[in-house]
Amino acid sequence: MRTRRLRLFRHPAQVVVAGFGLAVAVGTLLLMLPVARTGTDWTDPVTALFTSTSAVCVTGLVVVDTGTYWSTFGEVVILALIQVGGLGTMTLASLLGLAISRRLGLRARVTAAAETKAVGLGDVRGVVLGVARTSLVIEAAVAVVLGLRFWAAYDVSPGRAAYLGVFHSVSAFNNAGFALWSDSLVRFATDPWICLPIAASVIVGGIGFPVILELRKRLRTPRAWSMHTKMTLWATGVLLVLGTVLITANEWRNPATLGQLDTPGRLLAGFFQAVMPRTAGFNSVDTGAMYEGSLLVTVVLMFIGGGSAGTAGGIKVTTFVLLFFVIWAEVRGERDVQAFERRIGERVVRQALTVALLSVGLVMAATVVLVEITRMSTHLVLFEVVSAFATVGLSTGITADVGTAGHLVLVLLMFVGRLGPITLVSALALRERQRLYHHPEGRPLIG
């Protein structure tokens, strides 16, 4: 029996899945307790499971209002699950990278070390401490800013202001998107002292620990940055600018969203709405009232997601950018894929294609299932599915109305979306082997 148990968990990806599954199970049991909600009733298992999964997978989708349904104990449980999920994702993704590097050959390990520069080949303790220290410092700084603002400008007691600051700081840095108000952050849409710290925390948490650590060491020498850091920062900047321009322009005259704000408020809210699809899930305008064009832009941004080994979800910006360079090389007729003066290996290209295509297939399959279950509009269901898979948490308001079967589908999507890309890439890398023969080349017609 012991041998079978060891064989079952011999792959690092299996340990990751088991660990997150255990966290979800414990959170579900705690949230089912009467003390976890207002009133004296037990929480039904599906609601508790959905909320626990959403918190551990740092998604932010909810089927009940967080600030009114859950008691202070329930909110603290949710906060703890968010912290465990966020720290666990960054730590485990980084440690899986170390596990993969040990399984590579000497030349590949040296190359990986030279390229990443952020994580050593065997510094497991350094990775864990670095992730925890970085997370807590950023969360504390943002919590202080938010707490002071809540206390000074919104007539909140110092204790309550500190609690609100901590809760929303942790939720923001871990890209969870849980808020203690039923309208998320709509009431603060024109307050830069609330929106900008939260947006900055979301961006920093979403670029990934390896990038954060490298910037801390080499902020003033961008020429020495690794390709991963350059690719992540470049893509993040481009997507933020494009998202801000497209959403702000499209919603500028929408009386239900930006149209009701003054010009500075429109610009701030437009920027905030472009940051949140990086898988944070807060919203400062009514998402359900946005035009379909804005929802489509948001879906694309959610599907791409943020940086690797961070708190963001999606297929990751590095996967998206890598596929762009693959297309660019093919259009130009070049044999090698190159980016930032580096050649991309064929193995990495195949991994990116695998992650992207499997993600598209999963999203499409889940969308079809939910449309059949709920009979809701396809564009609303697609938005909800991508939000769950990319662990974003934005919703047009249909989450509570999809029924028990729909909730279970979304639970599965959140879990797979959080752990799928990490475990899939690690499994592909750890299974790498060299074939000792080649079949004759075939050339099927394309297009």
Tokens coding 381:
């269901």
Q: What average pLDDT does the segment 429-434 reach?
A: 56
pLDDT higher than 80, residue 295? yes
Q: Return the pLDDT at 186.
A: 95
For the ranges 194-198, 254-258, 310-314, the lowest mean pLDDT is seen at: 310-314
Is pLDDT larger for residue 18 or for residue 11? 18
Q: Are 366 and 389 in contact (CB under 8 A)?
A: yes
Transcribe 388-420 into DSSP letters. Answer: HHTT----SS-GGGSHHHHHHHHHHHHHHHHHH
Q: Give the model's confidence band at 6: pLDDT under 50 very low, under 70 low, under 90 confident, else very high.
A: very low
Tokens coding 282:
């807060």
pTM confidence score: 0.87
Q: Return the pLDDT at 219.
A: 82
For 215, the enclosing helix (H) or strand (E) is helix 209-218
Q: Per residue in 327-379, pLDDT tens?
A: 999 898 888 888 888 888 888 888 888 889 989 999 999 999 999 999 999 99
pLDDT higher than 60, residue 90? no
Transcribe 130-165 into DSSP letters. Answer: HHHHHHHHHHHHHHHHHHHHHHHHS---HHHHHHHH
Q: Return the pLDDT at 222.
A: 84
pLDDT higher than 50, residue 26? yes
Q: Return the pLDDT at 303.
A: 95
346-357 in b/e burial notation, b at 16+ Cβ within 10 A? eebbebbeebbe
**So where are the chain's domains?**
7-430
Q: Give the model's confidence band at 116: pLDDT under 50 very low, under 70 low, under 90 confident, else very high.
A: very low
Average pLDDT, the chain: 85
Q: What average pLDDT does the segment 231-242 reach?
A: 94
